[in-house]
Chain A
Amino acid sequence: MIFEVLVTVVVVGGISAILSALLSVSDAIVNNYGDVKITVNKKRNIDTTGGSTLLSTLGTEKIFLPSACGGKGSCGLCKARVVTDIGPVFPTETPYLNKEEIKSGVRLACQIKVKKDLEIEIPEELFNIREYQARVISLHDVTYDIKELNLVLNGDISFKAGQYIQLVVPPYGKIKESTMRAYSISSPSSQKRTIQLLIRLVPNGIVTTYIHKHLNEGDELRILGPFGEFYLRHSSSDIVFVAGGSGLAPVKAIVHEMVKTGFERKTYFFFGARTTADLMYTDLFRRIESKYDNFHYIPALSAPDDSPGWKGETGLITDVMDSYLTKQGSREREAYLCGSPGMIEACINGVLKKHGLTENEIFYDKFG
């Protein structure tokens, strides 16, 4: 009886081993796409091995498409036009692509695998994006839930004030893989070797939890950048900045930039906060305001009862901004918004459109 059981175990084990080996061999054959060529913008040829996503394949070749989620299909930023026919759009891509994009062959690079020779088109400026090693030189609280992170890079970075980088944090605790998120640079663009980020702790957030609970001075991180279309446009219109929380970061970078030119345009910076505990860099903006007649800093508290002694504006930032714009009357304006999606929606639909601003005059980070 025991002998029969042992024989059965050996036979079943042997069959399992053979099946497993067959699976490995078939996997290697089926998923082996061999050498493939990717032609980028008709001018750069990449010889590589097929099988990986287009996003990671390009990354290996130091061509970095924007990606706030690190290739998990949740940010929709890694768009590339694929000229070669690679079949229909996947359901995981459709939420991020409009009809025109689908028609013209735009795909999410993180969702498509390189299985054959491909011809693709990407914006020229993406060739300027670089990968940096960054070391933490300081990390401290600027509010109870926002930290200021200062990094020194292993090379100079050129960016437009208002743009963002992608920060990659290593695996930690139960997080088994590196994770990437986008953060706006808050330091002046004249600083090439160091950058500053403002990072708010997001409940349950992988990267922000790492920054707030695990990161220390001297630690190394990887960053990619710069990315983004959120930067000051040249015109003579008045400028309306609206920010809340860590959305202050790109505005701070742009205001630093404007200090250099002496604020030639009337500029109003509305910063929405609940209480004084949510305010940050108040002294900095007050100093700039006292020096430049064209710069106006308007912080507003929506829960002023919790901040005794507050003498500034009170109410929702949308109402405060509406009141200012109404008093000013009709003027040429551009608006730059950075904060929670709810605040941005309310500013655009509830206030800015009412005051005659068109979509072309309103700017905000798409990764919000």
Chain B
Amino acid sequence: MKQEPELTKIQELMRPGKLSATGFLGEDRRPLSEILEEDRLALYNLGLSCHFIAHVLEKLMYKGREGFGNPVKAGVDLVITVDENRGVIPCPFRHGYLAKKIDVAVKNVEKSKQLRFSDLSIHLIKEHGFFQGKGSVYRIEPQEILNTLDSFIKDCLRDYQAP
């Protein structure tokens, strides 16, 4: 698939040292358009939407923030730890969105599985369908979201309203 020049510019901003020390692409050498398309398909096959995934992660982040750095329980099997720092980080898609420097770790204590994401990860998934490149610190595999958060996701479905 041919990549639009605009996406190439955005991909440049995602490289290490541009907006963050390690960047957003990890070891992924594929064009951004391919990364986006593969995750879009993965999500489609799982029957989930970016907006819903972002809704779930956002709920976890808000819940975790109540702990001021301490672990907070969520649902029956999750423990959330949120680490906040001062400052903001701009979205690499360069439309003026600024994310807070919030780092979220969610552990499923029953399954011994863990997800790590940030305030910016949530925005990137919600608005751009970008789950980050393979090997990126904040990369979350769509399938892993389902595997780790399945019971919480079921709870979220009750109050979720699609846009």
The residues of A with any CB-CB pair to B shorter than 8 Å are: 68-69, 72-76, 91-95, 171, 173-177, 181-182, 200, 202-206, 209, 244, 247, 272, 274, 302-303, 316-318, 339-343, 346, 365, 367-368
A sample of 5 inter-chain contacts (CB < 8 A) reads A72-B90, A92-B94, A182-B87, A274-B70, A365-B86
| Distance to closest chain A CB from B10 (angstroms) | 14
Q: Are B97 and A95 in contact (CB under 8 A)?
A: yes
Q: Contacts A203-B103, A272-B68, A274-B69 given; indicate if A340 touches B84 (C-beta within 8 A).
A: yes
Name the residue among B15, B96, B102 with the largest chain A CB count within 10 angstroms. B96
Indicate whether A205 sits within 8 Å of B68 (C-beta atoms), given known contacts A91-B95, A340-B85, A342-B84. Answer: no
Q: Which residue of A lies closest to B69 (CB)?
A: A274
The answer, yes or no, to whether B135 is at the interface (CB within 8 Å) is no
Kindly list the 7 A-B residue pairs having the minimum CB-CB distance in the complex, ordered from nearest.
Answer: A340-B84, A175-B17, A174-B16, A74-B90, A368-B86, A95-B96, A202-B85
Chain A, Cβ-Cβ closest to B100: A341
* Contact code string B87-113 (vs A, CB < 8 Å = 1, else 0): 111100011111011110000000000
B16: chain A residues within 8 A (beta carbon) = 173-175
Contact with A along B48-84 (1 / 0, CB 8 A): 0000000000000000010111100000000000111
Add 10 more A-B contacts to A69-B87, A72-B19, A341-B100 (CB < 8 A): A68-B87, A74-B19, A75-B88, A94-B96, A175-B16, A203-B103, A204-B20, A205-B101, A302-B69, A340-B86
CA of A76 to CA of B67, assembled, Å: 28
Closest to B138 in A: A204
| A-chain residues with CB within 8 Å of residue B102 when the two chains form the complex | 342
Contact between B70 and A302, CB atoms less than 8 A apart: yes
Q: How distant is the Cα of A200 from the Cα of B83 in the complex, in angstroms?
A: 12
**A206 contacts which of B15, B17, B65, B95 (Cβ < 8 Å)?**
B17
Interface size on B, as a range, is: 20 to 34
Pair count A-B, CB < 8 A: 93
Q: Is the CB of A206 within 8 A of B20?
A: yes
Docked complex Cα distance between A302 and B96 (Å): 36
How far apart are A89's CB and chain B's nearest CB, in angstroms? 10
Contact between chains at B17 and A177 (CB < 8 Å): yes
| Chain A residues positioned under 8 Å from B90 (CB to CB) | 72-74
For B16, the closest partner residue in chain A by CB is A174
Decide yes or no whether B137 CB sits under 8 A from chain A: yes
Shortest C-beta distance, A291 to chain B (Å), equals 30
Check: B22 CB closer than 8 A to any chain A CB.
yes
Bound CA–CA A178/B153 (angstroms): 43
**What distance in Å separates the Cβ of A108 from its nearest Cβ neighbour in chain B?**
10
- Say yes or no: B137 contacts A204, CB within 8 Å: yes
Cα(A295)–Cα(B66), bound, Å: 29
Check if B82 sits within 8 Å of A342, measured CB to CB.
Answer: yes
